Structure 1
Amino acid sequence: MDIQLDKAPCGYFSISDSGFIQSVNQTLLDMLLYDRNELLGRPIESTMSVTNKLFFHTYFYPYIQLYGHVDEMYFSFRTSDRQDVPVLLNGVRQERNGETVIDCVVLMMRKRIEHERDILQTKTKLQELYQATNEANQKLERLHEEYEIKQQELERINLQLETMASTDPLTGLKNRRYFQDQLLASLASFRGSGISFSLLIIDIDRFKSINDTYGHPVGDLVLTNLAELLQSMSRDRDIVARYGGEEFVIILPGNDQEEAILTAERYRSTTASMDWGEYAITVSIGVATVTQEDTEQTIVHQADLALYASKSGGRNQVTHSANLVKG
């Protein structure tokens, strides 16, 4: 890192797409009271409180994945001695040396003091208005009306951000991040109360040939139509999400191995028998049912191995990981 960036009047850090710190300038190190070797290679979340970790995953990651940048996000980092540092955070997601990175600039939130001063001044004015004439009371009522309007707008924006953070923009299904959160919750419920569940990974067969033959708009339409079919066939308690590309995942609460296979066969056969117009669609499905030894990674891996077996076995098939020949 050159000296100009290292000593810039603002903090700077770069993280990998998975959140590990790749570089950090001295300004940010001084701001957070860390040595460089204490942060390099560590998750950026290690500089955050639990609350801010949740905020970072709920808003920063989904927003930068959707739009490629984040502008002036009010945030707080935590120093090595556990003091919160309010900042404005700007970030941009880009390719560098064949790798996706997120570059961020951090500015101390000096305007926060001005904001608090404005709030105190407003409170003082409100107290004066309450003690003043009827005209002052009318002004106070108008201020309250403006506040209510802005509060409603803030609630609307927050709801929109929450929806964006958990929804795949193309299909309208839940996204991969939401699925991963629900998978962790399902594992915790299984360990705590013994409620079993199964996981399906569904892949569209020869999807690349659809894009190559009919174009990406038709490919997007296929993804959207299949998403609607999967959602319509699922129970309210099932978690249906787009995993990425042409892959979908479904968490089936309460389904054991036999029930999960039957359910997967219903998805497969219905997809194969549907009238998709001038193109035919089939899916291959991998199934895994939770065991006491499973973690988030292992159950996904087992379902993925089963999917690979369905693909390599001729496609348009359902395979349960328990039926795989162990190597």
Structure 2
Amino acid sequence: MSEQALTGWIDRSPVAALIVDARSQVVAANVTVVELLESSAEDIMKQPFVQLLSRSGRMFYLGHILPSLQQHAAVDEIYLRLRTKAGQEIPVLLNATYHNTGGVDYYYFAMMPMQRRNILEDQLVEAKQEAEHALAAEREALAELERAKLELEKQQSELKRLNTRLEHLATTDPLTKLANRRAFEARLENNLSLVRRDSMGFSLLSLDLDHFKDINDRYGHDTGDKVLVAIGSLLASMFRTADLAARTGGEEFAVILSDADLSVALGIAERLRGSIEALEFDDFRVTASIGVTTAQSEDTREDLLRRADQALYKAKRASRNCVKYLTG
């Protein structure tokens, strides 16, 4: 990026922005930073960047930010305090990136003022102002920064945990705890990609509980839900981590069998059918019809699903409680 482009970049920036050279000398400043520091562009560009910082900010910049920037070419979301021409300190969130233009190194600084209540450094500033000894003040600053770092890591860990939980909820059927249709279709697309790329075959089972509506109508939806939960537990216990069992509709389920050819898939489907039939309920028994097909390299997702459904319909027409297959 040219120097002219860099200058245009900071002029268009919605936040306070500076460009400094390899010696940390300010070479360009936008209107926002000029107004924030209550100064002029000429005054700002007459001094090194550190002169625009608070005392603690200078130490942190020279001891941490600049070395990190030189090593990694970027720093993100660093708390600093700027110092205005009148001596007022302004907390900001700093992001910085490295650029080389015509063999000359530049750093682009973007600074967003932060609300005072969000800045833990307020307590550090007060402690530093009251400190009589420079070493004690420096130690207090480092301790406060460490507390802020630990708090940030704690918040990031909590955010990661919540994101993981949300992802689980977004891909899990709440009743059976199996994968939902969204997760099933994503895995199906991934497995088809592997078939096309690496010829890693897999098979698909399409399962539908026989006469499930009659169970719901006669015994109630609570009983129907218990049946679905039992089927979900059975499916979860029968298959490998590499496979995927999913609830794809009301009483409809599907199983992706990784690295399984038709003969293996048929054997697994028959064992599954028998295990469902063997489930014990007080007043009725549950059976399932299962359709089986194996993925081909030219298959689309729709091809595979259509073939599995057609195999399932064959099983339904053949008196139910059986396994039927359809090849590509």
In structure 1, the residue matched to 2:327 is 322
Mapped pair 1:239 → 2:239 = no
Residue 231 of structure 2 is aligned with which of 202, 226, 230? Answer: 226
In structure 2, the residue matched to 1:159 is 164
Inter-partner Cα distance in structure 1 for 2:298 and 2:304: 9
Residue 117 of structure 1 is aligned with which of 101, 113, 117? Answer: 113
Say whether the 8 Å CA contact 1:268–1:284 is kept in structure 2.
yes
> What is the TM-score normalised by the length of structure 2?
0.58
In structure 1, list runs of 5 or more residues that go unmatched.
1-114
Inter-partner Cα distance in structure 1 for 2:270 and 2:177: 24
In structure 2, the residue matched to 1:274 is 279
Residue 254 of structure 1 is aligned with which of 248, 251, 259? Answer: 259
Residue 290 of structure 2 is aligned with which of 285, 292, 296? Answer: 285
Q: Summarize the Cα distance change of 1:135–1:203 in structure 2 as closer, same or farther, 3 Å threshold.
A: same
Residue 150 of structure 1 is aligned with which of 129, 134, 155? Answer: 155
Inter-partner Cα distance in structure 1 for 2:255 and 2:115: 48
Inter-partner Cα distance in structure 2 for 1:213 and 1:157: 41
Inter-partner Cα distance in structure 1 for 2:267 and 2:123: 66
2:327 partner SS? helix
In structure 2, the residue matched to 1:298 is 303
In structure 2, the residue matched to 1:187 is 192
Tell me which amino acid in the other structure corresponds to 1:233. M
Inter-partner Cα distance in structure 1 for 2:252 and 2:260: 21
In structure 1, the residue matched to 2:15 is none
Tell me which amino acid in the other structure corresponds to 1:261. L
Mapped pair 1:264 → 2:269 = yes
Say whether the 8 Å CA contact 2:196–2:298 is kept in structure 1.
no
Tell me which amino acid in the other structure corresponds to 1:256. D
Q: Summarize the Cα distance change of 1:192–1:138 in structure 2 as closer, same or farther, 3 Å threshold.
A: closer
Say whether the 8 Å CA contact 2:178–2:247 is kept in structure 1.
yes
Deviation string 1:19-68 (CA, Å, 9 cap, x unpaired) is: xxxxxxxxxxxxxxxxxxxxxxxxxxxxxxxxxxxxxxxxxxxxxxxxxx
2:248 partner SS? strand
Say whether the 8 Å CA contact 2:124–2:141 is kept in structure 1.
no
1:288 partner SS? strand
Deviation string 1:260-297 (CA, Å, 9 cap, x unpaired) is: 11111110111112222322100000111112331100
How many percent identity over aligned positions?
41
In structure 2, list runs of 5 or more residues that go unmatched.
1-110, 129-133
Deviation string 1:276-323 (CA, Å, 9 cap, x unpaired) is: 232210000011111233110000000001111111221101110139
Cα RMSD of the aligned pairs, angstroms, is: 2.7
Give the deviation of 1:152 after TM superposition: 2.4
Inter-partner Cα distance in structure 2 for 1:145 and 1:252: 44
Say whether the 8 Å CA contact 1:287–1:321 is kept in structure 2.
yes
Give the deviation of 1:126 after TM superposition: 9.3
Tell me which amino acid in the other structure corresponds to 2:177. G
Inter-partner Cα distance in structure 1 for 2:210 and 2:257: 22
Give the deviation of 1:259 after TM superposition: 1.3
Inter-partner Cα distance in structure 2 for 1:151 and 1:317: 51
Say whether the 8 Å CA contact 2:124–2:140 is kept in structure 1.
no
Say whether the 8 Å CA contact 2:210–2:320 is kept in structure 1.
yes
Give the deviation of 1:149 after TM superposition: 2.9
1:322 partner SS? coil
Give the deviation of 1:122 after TM superposition: 4.3
Say whether the 8 Å CA contact 1:126–1:140 is kept in structure 2.
no
Q: Summarize the Cα distance change of 1:164–1:124 in structure 2 as closer, same or farther, 3 Å threshold.
A: same
> What is the TM-score normalised by the length of structure 1?
0.58
In structure 2, the residue matched to 1:30 is none
Give the deviation of 1:148 after TM superposition: 3.2
297-306 or 149-158, larger mean C-alpha shift: 149-158
Give the deviation of 1:134 after TM superposition: 5.2
121-130 or 135-144, larger mean C-alpha shift: 121-130
Give the deviation of 1:257 after TM superposition: 1.4
**Higher Cα radius of gyration:** 2
1:244 partner SS? coil
